[in-house]
Structure 1
């Protein structure tokens, strides 16, 4: 896996998380600003999927369990769209907080995927 990509993805997800929680606690309802973060996080997850498919062909194979890695990746791919859907159906400040928490969960999952790919079994 690419360490720089993971670092950038974690930073973006963390910023989206802080923004979502802050906007929600400030009483803001879902808007383009609060939903842009999880949308960007989802794009980064899709890029992670492409990287994970291509990386073994370039000699960068996972040291951990690939099934565990892909279970994390597939689960993470579901979280941002689910949070956005929730925010759009329940248009309250608390749904924006949920969007922020979802982004935080994905940030943690990015770190865990990096660990599975590079550290486990090494």
Structure 2
């Protein structure tokens, strides 16, 4: 993984998460802004999938468990889709809060993926 990409993904996910949680607690329903923030997270996760495929071929293999890394990555890719689906089915302020929790969860997952890739020594 690339440290700059990881930091950018975590920053975007935290900002999107706080935006959604604050908007939801303020009583706002899902909007283009909140759903769009999760769409941006999804695009960055797709970029991460491409990087994870190319990096070992370019001489940057993971130091931790590759299976654990891919389970985190696939789960992280599926979470925004589930959060947005929930928001489109149940258009309430609580679905906006759920999208925020999804975004904050992704921030933690991306950082954990970075730790699995770079820090662990077996």
Query: TM-score, with normalisation over the residues of structure 1?
Result: 0.98
What is aligned with 1:109?
A: 109
Q: Tell me the matched-pair count.
A: 122
**Partner of residue 5, structure 1:** 5
Q: CA deviation at 1:96?
A: 0.1
Task: State the 1:66 CA deviation.
Answer: 0.3
Q: Structure 2: state its 5+ residue gaps.
A: none
Partner of 1:85: 85
Equivalent residue for 1:31? 31
Q: 2: CA distance between counterparts of 1:107 and 1:46? A: 15
1:72 and 2:72 correspond: yes
Give the equivalent residue in structure 2 for 1:58: 58
5+ residue gaps in structure 1?
none
Q: Does 1:98 align with 2:109?
A: no
Instruction: Determine the C-alpha separation between the residues in 2 that align with 1:120 and 1:90.
Output: 41
The alignment status of 1:14 with 2:21, answered yes or no, reads no
RMSD: 0.7
